Amino acid sequence: PEDRPANIVIITNPNLKKNRDGLPDRKYRFVALDRQRGEQSKGEHPHWWCVIRDVMENGNSLLVYEGKIESDLNVLSVLEKHNCIVRSNLYGWHLADGVEAVADSGDDTIHVYQFAYDHGIDCIKGANEGGFRHPDGGTRIFEYELDRPLCSMFGKQTKFPCEQSAEPLAQRLHPKEPRFLRYSKHGIRERLHWLRSGGELKWEVPGDVSEDYRQHDAAEEARERKGPRGEILVEWVQTSRRNDLRVCECYIAMLLDRAG
């Protein structure tokens, strides 16, 4: 515990500003979207929260974009401007090469499914499991995503053509076919915490991030308690109403893990 403090205050780099060009020679550009219906009593309409982060081969990363987006069309505009999606005459919108994107479908589920399906984005949903078994025998903080195409979640056909063979559908899906997978709510938070704990990897946050980003980042804290065998257990507790941008960073920590 002394080597890994329970709570880490966000450290921004005043010498960096958000820039859609991001990191030169990046390995990936990761996108995380979180849909919210909004509370009508507070005058809120349905909206999205979005984080885009560039990642190098060695795992160093830089925040490129963060913010609240009021409509689906505006999401597309942001993704286009950041070279995350492209349109083809044959298959419509899909992710650009080197881009991985996820959208949480815990709220406004069918709308998120349709939007993600239309634009080649994977859908994710939180679960209370600590981890999920994978075919290689290991346990990860996310499900094995090849098992379930997103189209199967709401009665659609695959977006891209499948190979014609006797192999199971999961093995015949096009590489860009949107998937659905669950993630460990605790696991993705633990992974973000590890990435930001001051080890060898850089988790860069420019100094010009929004006040929303700062407030959302401070909206959760780790609390320790003793388990039934006397072991120390860490639980993440939400202390403020809005934590959406922090959760988007957790999704990106999961994408980093998934990419190896």
Per-residue pLDDT at 185: 95
Average pLDDT over residues 67-71: 96
Q: How many angstroms from the chain centroid is the CA of residue 83?
A: 17
- The pTM for the full model equals 0.92
Q: Mean pLDDT: which of 28-42, 64-78, 130-144, 147-161 is highest?
A: 64-78
Sign of CA dihedral 146, 152, 153, 157: positive
Is residue 47 within 8 A of residue 38, CB to CB? The reply is yes
For 252, residues 6+ apart whose C-beta sits below 8 A from its C-beta are: 30, 32, 51, 53, 61
Sign of CA dihedral 237, 215, 256, 146: positive
Element (H, E) at 69: strand 61-69
Is residue 50 within 8 A of residue 31, CB to CB? The reply is yes
Is residue 61 within 8 A of residue 204, CB to CB? The reply is yes
Per-residue pLDDT at 186: 93
Q: pLDDT, tens digit, for every residue of 214-252? A: 999 999 988 888 888 888 877 888 988 899 999 999 999
